[in-house]
Structure 1
């Protein structure tokens, strides 16, 4: 035993090492919060908000409220189960139901690919508005920059820093535009709770675009890297997930108010073609050319941060098939490959980016209840073995089960209208 230990004091340098250890853990926690937030307020949500606000006006506030409530029920359950078990979602699902994790992984990867094509399309739209670049060239630049981030051997801290900076920038710029738009706040607040019109296809699409598909698991999977796993860390997980939900909820409502101010002023957004860019039109109506540039900056930031989130989270599900291949540097290479495939598909077929962004939200809204049902089964019947004997709170399971049933019913009622966004159904 050393003299320092005998005297009851820490050895020299122990305090510094403890601080360094805490700092290393804090990075992934903050990264998890903003990875979830920026994924949930990506270019799909921005385009959906503009499209549906133009169609429904202040009544769209009700869809925002429902999306936040479902988000709360979903994220609180998924974050808690993933971190208590200390495993990724696919592995947990396989442990509870043989091959369920493989099915979930396929759905998430397919849905994530659809999302990422839309995210890259959003990057093209953003750089077109910001710099006047051709959308295809803008999408190419967005995809290549995201690939460059993951080619660094220690990509984790870089990803955390990028999504944090982009997330704060998006929030600040959107608040400025919302103030300038002077929306009818009283009417918006009333219709948040008592809407004049309810559209289940709209709610399913907005839920899918903000919590469906890979977004459900993005923050939780990143949080695993903090090392704060197991039942003993439930309080810190709860706090982090609530903070992430608050950030996304505020951002969603502020963006809605910015668009509503434009629509309420009498400006008509052009939704006549699949290539329309309603969000860009709204920002331009508020601040002219400067508004269009601000929109471009917000949209591009949302796009590249969502490309990062979709690719990273989808790649983490590949470990369900092979932990040896898809770990460490292998995971980063898989992420790069995922972005590259999304980019190639967009360059080949992505001729209507706005339509793609609306459709993929709805598509992932259809995937959402499938994964949720697996985790609700685990919470109700398998918490003793799968969740390390953790006594799961019943109130949280009730909320999660209600969200699952609601998303199933809305999805069943919305399949046709969702595919109509691409001119496939109807």
Structure 2
């Protein structure tokens, strides 16, 4: 409450400042969970089950690499975007003319592909949870996401939904991981010394957890919180680190849950069109209850990822016109994006699991293009960041990851498409 000695104007100003602080805090928390839930969507869950069944404990190394890449990518992207006060496409254009437009087009295309997969994941989740047809489940998931963005205060509602879904996913997955009794010692050994190394697998899992729109989702939401400028570098880095910690824990716990099933001798179906390897793994641990829990986790992951993919992809439209910087224009663009994704999903006949694996690999190929532009900004255009100071260790780490993602993308094009049976 304001002091009785405050003037009416002073009290009003104090109240407005308090409201702005609460809204800003909500945006920061939302940014953390937007990045986290986008990175542990249905694509990652499906990929984890598929690759754990193929590689066993050796897949732990791919998860470690994805987390290390995540650190280098997200810390750089969050810091540059928030320091400049510009979204990724606008910042890229300021450094290299039209590069932002190229990135925006790739993100929107990749985001559309990802969102089709996310809606497919929602269908799979509700099928396992309630037994309804996957197409109807996808329709329900897309419709709910649309409703969220039609609400007047869509940003705050989105933040609350993402936090609730994120916490629920982590809690349920931890419980299943404990019950599956995975060989933790073997998993830890192969985290650092894998028996098998597969670049196509690493590229796909990186694409599913940090590639495409996921790279920019948290940073763009943080930008909306209003806490921008080079002086905010410390809080920004802490927020990004918290998001990475959440995603890292979730990734490894999910892997352990699946590994416990595979190590026990259960063979997951990876061949049929209707295969749902993650659902099979949860069912093997807890029977019908396990399938229901998997359905709840998968649907939560799908809904949060539909929200993240649509919102982030829509924010890139501001690269082409300023009207999409915020407000109803951004909300309607997000809604239209979801509607288009939903229609395409309902019309195509590709199996949901195949879609989810493909979009991870596709977004992994997009990743190095955007990183190259941002590393150029870090080395040669720091004036765009409002300061000449920038951590050298962060630039070196980001540059090494950029080179690594280019290499992985090039050598993995053939295997990724071969995995889908469509050639290279």
Q: TM-score, normalised by structure 2?
A: 0.97
**CA shift digits 1:134-187 (9 cap, x unpaired):** 111100110111111111122000000000000000000000000000000000
| Alignment check: 8 A CA contact 2:115 2:310 kept | yes
Q: Is the 8 A contact 1:122 1:139 kept in 2?
A: yes
Aligned to 1:116: 115
Aligned residue number for residue 179 of structure 2: 180
Moved more, 268-277 or 44-53: 268-277
Question: Which residue number corresponds to residue 69 of structure 2?
Answer: 70
Pair 4,410 (structure 1): closer, same or farther in 2 beyond 3 Å:
same
Q: Note the aligned Cα RMSD (angstroms).
A: 1.6
Q: Which residue of the partner structure matches residue 336 of structure 2?
A: 337
Alignment of 1:118-137 (within 5 A): 118-137=117-136
- CA shift for structure 1 position 14: 5.9
2:84 paired residue number: 85
Confirm or deny that 1:202 pairs with 2:207: no
**Equivalent runs, 1:8-407 vs 2, <5 Å:** 11-12=10-11, 16-324=15-323, 327-384=326-383, 386-407=384-405
Q: Supply the distance in 2 between the matched residues of 1:423 and 1:3 (Cα, whole angstroms).
A: 73
Q: Is contact 1:45–1:210 with CA below 8 Å preserved after alignment?
A: yes
SS at match of 2:322: coil
C-alpha distance in structure 2 between counterparts of 1:132 and 1:390, whole Å: 57
Instruction: Tell me how far 1:420 sits from its aligned partner.
Output: 2.4
**Residue 272 of structure 1: how far off its partner (Å):** 1.2
Say if 1:129 and 1:11 are closer, same or farther in 2 by CA, change over 3 A.
Answer: same
Work out whether residues 356 and 422 of structure 1, in 8 Å CA contact, stay in contact via their aligned partners in 2: no
Q: Deviations over 1:298-355 (max 9, x none)?
A: 0000001000000000000011000125531011111011001111111111430001
SS, match of residue 324 in structure 1: helix
CA contact (8 A) 2:130 2:292 kept: yes
Q: Quote how far apart the aligned CAs of 1:416 are.
A: 1.1
Contact (CA 8 Å) 1:275, 1:351: kept in 2 or not?
no
1:412 aligns with 2:403: no
- Flag as ranges the 4+ runs of structure 1 deviating above 3 A: 2-6, 10-19
Kept in 2, the 8 Å contact 1:355–1:421? The answer is no
C-alpha separation between the residues in 2 aligned to 1:165 and 1:192?
30
* Count of residues paired in the alignment: 421
Q: What is the rounded CA distance, in whole Å, between the counterparts of 1:95 and 1:11 in structure 2?
A: 40
User: How far apart are 1:392 and its partner, in Å?
Assistant: 1.2
Q: Displacement of 1:24 after TM fit?
A: 1.2
Unaligned runs of 5+ residues in structure 1 are none
Q: Which residue of 2 aligns with 1:425?
A: 423
| Residues 1:122 and 1:3: Cα distance change in structure 2 (over 3 Å) | closer
Q: Is this contact kept in 1: 2:56–2:263, CA < 8 A? A: yes
Mark the CA change 1:326 to 1:15 in structure 2 (over 3 Å): closer, same or farther.
closer
